[in-house]
């Protein structure tokens, strides 16, 4: 059982959250770096940083990082979402010092060797993502203006102490309230002066076609925030619409209309909040362009028939994924996968939610707020979401 | 002083002989089914998993896909509303069709175990379906097939290359499934769900004794005895396949069951190779039978083989500690959560009551670098099953 020790200590530097768990076998250290709103050029830079950040640092070369990762049996990794980077390192018990040295060096002194960047730029246009990743991050980025100085400058702008939350969990014993006492390198990490240079790159080009013979169609909501007033209702609507086999999307789009095998609602982060996205995924057909409207119409019709049982099922499903770790969760808050009940993902969630909303993550409280939603409110919010939803179809390669 | 010493020794002895509650209890039910209950006190939820072993009812060209189709149909429940009824109570379940078994996974809270067992009783009832239902379900399953990603297609092709008809893709043949008569499915179900093919694993924060009693009652109520001979997978052979409906490259190493240390060497080798390749996938389902460990990439369709075949002795020696650590961690991760632990333990019990993942962990820990090198050799061109996707 992870017991939160401190609410987090925000120095002028990064926020550090300490979650001792004596039952865990490994120390887990995660850095969550908020990226803010990115222009299209910056999105391309962000991808390059994600893929080259862990190549080498000032004090640790590639072999060193691979060797130290192997001590715990899992490689250090970096993922990028719409609003944050997540960098994770696991170390054996007793190696908190070494974990701090590595993580601080990654956050402050990555090497970004030109040869590594050039190799990455050559590989990127040919690198294939999964259709799911393409659907979630449906952009076509331009890497032609990227060079080593630009990568370095982007890193310096984004990876700042004030934008970073560090979560330390596992068998770490009692740690001082002052993180610099056990990780002295944090004391030398200063917030840079703001960079007022403007980036005039245009909007991000959308992906025109999947690299696979799979079409993804999406109805997506407008942005909403993570406050108690907004988030529980929106999450419950997403659950009613598309989480679990009793959801509207599964009952109507799959079982009744046999339109798709895979259909689900996900809640993903945006730069300033969250968005509900209803995905329909199927093999390409002549009806790709009308799929969203067919789905919208069918779901709106279904919402009219929602009853107390619908609300009950949605709340039951929320209980299943929030408290029992059921895999059919709509919460896709990090990269392309749903968060699990693993200690590592729960540690991430604790740090991310605090950074994103200013509040501590509390699944029971969230469920309690969801239970207060009335049927009328559920239906009207679902109707509004479906009526106002914008659409996006990425056809499959034929 | 001697008396005091003797007294201290006695006290120490009594402390040494104090028994710890075992974390899990395996029960062999007289009808041939197997029950495993595991207490994980720090877990937040319970995983209840029922396996119907394929050991006596393997996939054949004549029934290829029946298991998968059956999974789709029985999980709806008799009123086709089992999902709704369970989800209303905060219970979620799903089904998976694997080569070695059909697997039904429930996630629930400890007090909901009796409800889950009732649901399983309903699922095990003889299927009531129609040809129209079958056709409609197969239409949906064709969509499922279309959504397979490249790593899945490459892996399925590697299995086919290695084992032929004995390594059939558990997905099945949609055309064959579409032509299945309801009575054929019912007959298949009665064999697959016969009591001596069933394994029930319950893992989570549970009272072992009480939950064992519940599980025993459930399994004792299951009937049927499948008399078909259990078949073991052959050793397989190396080969090469080109695929037009996928992109990437995969190398499969044929390994024995987990009770043979070579399986651990192959797994360690695969994970070490993947760590060198960058953005690679590793596919392995622990089994007591001959199986395949696959490593591959889907963002390029050359490079995996070149990398593997060019490895020198000193490269392999440098990879050894990484492979060992990765394999150990991979297996430990499987056993850290109720769902993961129930999954791996149940799959192995499908092959026999004595199989357990700790055997593989012991083999990983005992592995020498020479043995690791043997694991790497399994992936080399002459020994491996090679698949190249050219879409």
The stretch B123-133 carries a mean pLDDT of 95
* pLDDT digits 0-9 by tens, B159-181: 999 999 999 999 999 999 999 99
pLDDT above 70: residue B313: yes
B296 to chain A: which residues are within 8 Å by CB? none
For B101, the enclosing helix (H) or strand (E) is strand B101-108
Q: What confidence score (pLDDT) does residue B3 get?
A: 39
Q: With CB atoms and an 8 Å threshold, state whether B299 touches A127.
A: yes
pLDDT over 50 at A301, yes or no: yes
> Would you place residue A23 in the very low, low, confident or very high pLDDT band (cuts 50, 70, 90)?
confident
- List beta partners, residue B243: B389
pLDDT band with cut points at 50, 70 and 90 for residue B16? very low
- Per the CB < 8 Å rule, is B107 touching A325? yes
Cβ pair B44:A321 closer than 8 A: no
Interface contact flag, A325 B322, Cβ < 8 Å: no
SS3 A31: strand
Task: Report chain B residues whose CB lies below 8 A from the CB of A66.
Answer: 275, 322
Per-residue pLDDT reduced to its tens digit, B245-269: 899 999 999 999 999 999 999 999 9
Q: What distance in Å separates residue B82's CA from the closest CA in chain A?
A: 9
**Which residues in chain B have Cβ-Cβ distances shorter than 8 Å to A324?**
44-46, 90, 92, 107-109
**Any idea how long chain B is?**
391
Once rounded to an integer, what is the mean pLDDT over residues A376-394? 97
Kindly report the nearest CA distance between residue B89 and chain A, in angstroms. 5
Q: Which residues contact B9 (CB under 8 A, 6 or more apart)?
A: none
Assign A327 a pLDDT band (cuts: 50, 70, 90): confident
Residues of A in contact with B301 (CB under 8 A): none
Query: Residue B338 pLDDT > 50, yes or no?
Result: yes
A319 touches chain B (CB under 8 A): yes
Residue A199 vs residue B188, higher pLDDT: B188
pLDDT of residue A13: 79
pLDDT tens digits along A287-299: 788 899 999 999 9
Confidence of residue B279 (pLDDT cuts 50, 70, 90): confident
Q: How long a stretch of residues is chain A?
A: 398
Contact in structure between B204 and B110 (CB atoms under 8 Å):
yes
Q: What is the mean pLDDT of residues A11-20?
A: 85
Q: What is the reported pLDDT for A198? A: 66
Q: Is the dihedral of CA B364, B366, B372, B375 positive or negative?
A: negative
In this predicted structure, what is the pLDDT of residue A1?
36
Provide the pairing of β-strand A164-170 with A15-20: parallel
pLDDT over threshold 60, residue B6: no
- Interface confidence (ipTM) of the complex: 0.87
Q: What is the mean pLDDT of chain A?
A: 90
The per-residue pLDDT for B10 is 41
- Which position has the higher pLDDT, A327 or B192? B192
Eight-state DSSP code of residue A187: G
Question: What number of other Cβ atoms are within 10 A of residue B370's Cβ?
Answer: 11
Contact, B222 vs B124, CB < 8 A? yes
* pLDDT, mean over chain B: 92
Instruction: Please answer yes or no on whether A325 and B45 come within 8 Å at the CB atom.
Output: yes
Closest chain B C-alpha to A318 CA, distance in angstroms? 7
Chain A residues within 8 A of B143 when measuring between CB atoms: 260-262, 282-283
DSSP E strands, chain A: 9-10, 15-20, 26-34, 77-80, 84-92, 139-140, 164-170, 205-206, 215-220, 262-269, 274-282, 390-394
User: Which pLDDT score is estimated for B299?
Assistant: 84
**Whether B90 and A72 lie within 8 Å, measured CB to CB:** no
- DSSP characters over B41-60: TT-SSEEEEEEEE-SSS---
- Looking at residue B14, its pLDDT comes to 38
pLDDT band at A71 (very low <50, low <70, confident <90, very high): confident
pLDDT for A206-218, tens place per residue?
888 988 889 999 9
- pLDDT band at B241, cuts 50/70/90? very high
Cβ contacts of A71 on chain B, cutoff 8 Å: 325
pLDDT band, residue A191 (cuts 50/70/90): confident
Q: Which pLDDT belongs to residue B228?
A: 82
Band of pLDDT at residue B125, cut at 50, 70 and 90: very high
CA distances from A50 to A147, A165, A268 (A): 15, 17, 19
């Amino acid at each position: 059982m992870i017991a939160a020790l401190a609410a987090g200590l925000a120095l002028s530097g990064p926020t550090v959250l300490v979650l001792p768990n004596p039952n865990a076998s490994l120390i887990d250290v995660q850095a969550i770096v908020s990226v803010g709103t990115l222009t299209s050029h910056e999105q391309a830079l962000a991808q390059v940083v994600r893929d080259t950040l862990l190549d080498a640092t000032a004090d640790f070369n590639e072999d060193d990082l691979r060797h130290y990762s192997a001590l715990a049996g899992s490689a250090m990794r970096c993922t990028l979402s719409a609003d944050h980077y997540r960098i994770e390192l696991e170390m054996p018990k007793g190696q908190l010092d070494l974990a701090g040295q590595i993580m601080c060096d990654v956050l402050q002194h990555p090497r970004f060797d030109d040869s590594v960047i050039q190799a990455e730029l050559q590989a990127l246009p040919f690198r294939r993502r999964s259709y799911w990743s393409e659907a979630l991050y449906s952009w076509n980025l331009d890497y032609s203006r990227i060079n080593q100085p630009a990568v370095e400058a982007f890193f310096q702008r984004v990876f700042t102490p004030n934008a970073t939350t560090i979560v330390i969990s596992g068998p770490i014993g009692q740690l001082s309230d002052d993180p610099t006492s056990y990780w002295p390198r944090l004391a030398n990490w200063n917030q840079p002066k703001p960079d007022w240079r403007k980036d005039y790159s245009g909007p991000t080009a959308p992906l025109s076609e999947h690299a696979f013979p799979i079409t993804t169609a999406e109805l997506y909501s407008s942005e909403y925030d993570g406050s108690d007033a907004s988030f529980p209702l929106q999450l419950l609507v997403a659950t009613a619409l598309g989480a679990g086999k009793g959801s509207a999307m599964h009952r109507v789009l799959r079982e009744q209309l046999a339109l798709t095998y895979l259909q689900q609602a996900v809640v993903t982060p945006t730069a300033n909040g969250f968005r509900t996205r209803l995905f329909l995924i199927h093999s390409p057909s002549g009806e790709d362009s009308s799929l969203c409207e067919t789905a919208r119409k069918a779901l709106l019709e279904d919402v009219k028939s929602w009853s107390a049982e619908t609300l009950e099922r949605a709340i039951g499903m929320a209980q299943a994924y929030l408290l029992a770790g059921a895999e059919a969760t709509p919460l896709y808050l990090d990269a392309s996968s749903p968060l699990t009940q693993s200690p590592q993902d729960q540690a991430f969630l604790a740090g991310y939610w605090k950074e994103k909303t200013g509040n501590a993550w509390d699944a029971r409280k969230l469920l309690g707020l969801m239970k207060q939603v009335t049927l009328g409110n559920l239906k009207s919010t679902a109707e509004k979401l479906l009526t106002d939803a914008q659409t996006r179809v990425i056809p499959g390669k034929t | 002083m001697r008396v005091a010493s003797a007294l201290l020794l006695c006290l120490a002895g009594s402390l040494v002989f104090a028994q710890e509650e075992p974390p899990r209890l395996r029960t062999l039910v007289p009808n041939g089914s197997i029950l495993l209950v595991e207490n994980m006190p720090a877990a937040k939820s319970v995983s209840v998993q029922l396996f119907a072993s394929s050991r006596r009812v393997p996939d054949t060209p004549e029934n290829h896909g029946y298991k998968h189709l059956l999974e789709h149909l029985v999980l709806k429940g008799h009123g086709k509303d089992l999902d709704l009824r369970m989800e209303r109570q905060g219970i979620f379940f799903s089904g998976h069709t694997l080569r070695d078994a059909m697997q039904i996974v429930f996630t629930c809270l400890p007090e909901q175990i009796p409800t889950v067992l009732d649901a399983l009783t309903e699922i095990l009832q003889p299927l009531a379906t129609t040809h129209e239902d079958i056709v409609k379900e197969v239409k949906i399953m064709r969509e499922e097939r279309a959504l397979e990603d490249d790593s899945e297609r490459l892996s399925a092709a590697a299995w086919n290359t290695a084992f032929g008809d004995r390594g059939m893709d558990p997905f099945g043949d949609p055309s064959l499934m579409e032509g299945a008569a309801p009575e054929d499915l019912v007959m298949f179900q009665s064999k697959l769900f016969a009591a001596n093919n069933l394994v029930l694993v319950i893992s989570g924060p549970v009272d072992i004794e009480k939950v064992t009693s519940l599980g025993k009652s459930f399994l004792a109520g299951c009937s049927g005895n499948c008399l078909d001979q259990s078949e073991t997978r052959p050793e397989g052979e190396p080969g090469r396949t080109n695929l037009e409906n996928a992109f990437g490259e995969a190398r499969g190493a044929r390994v024995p069951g987990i009770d043979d240390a070579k399986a651990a060497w192959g797994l360690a080798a695969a994970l070490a190779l993947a760590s060198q390749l960058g953005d690679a996938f590793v596919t392995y389902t622990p089994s007591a039978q001959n199986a395949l460990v696959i490593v591959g990439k889907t963002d390029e369709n050359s490079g995996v083989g070149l990398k593997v075949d060019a490895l020198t002795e000193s490269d392999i020696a440098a990879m050894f500690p990484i492979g060992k650590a990765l394999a150990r961690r991979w297996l430990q991760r499987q056993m850290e959560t109720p769902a993961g632990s129930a999954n791996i333990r149940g799959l192995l019990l499908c092959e026999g009551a004595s199989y357990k993942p700790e055997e593989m962990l012991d083999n990983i820990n005992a592995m020498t670098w020479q043995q690791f090198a043997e694991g790497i050799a399994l992936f080399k061109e002459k020994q491996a099953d090679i698949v190249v996707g050219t879409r």
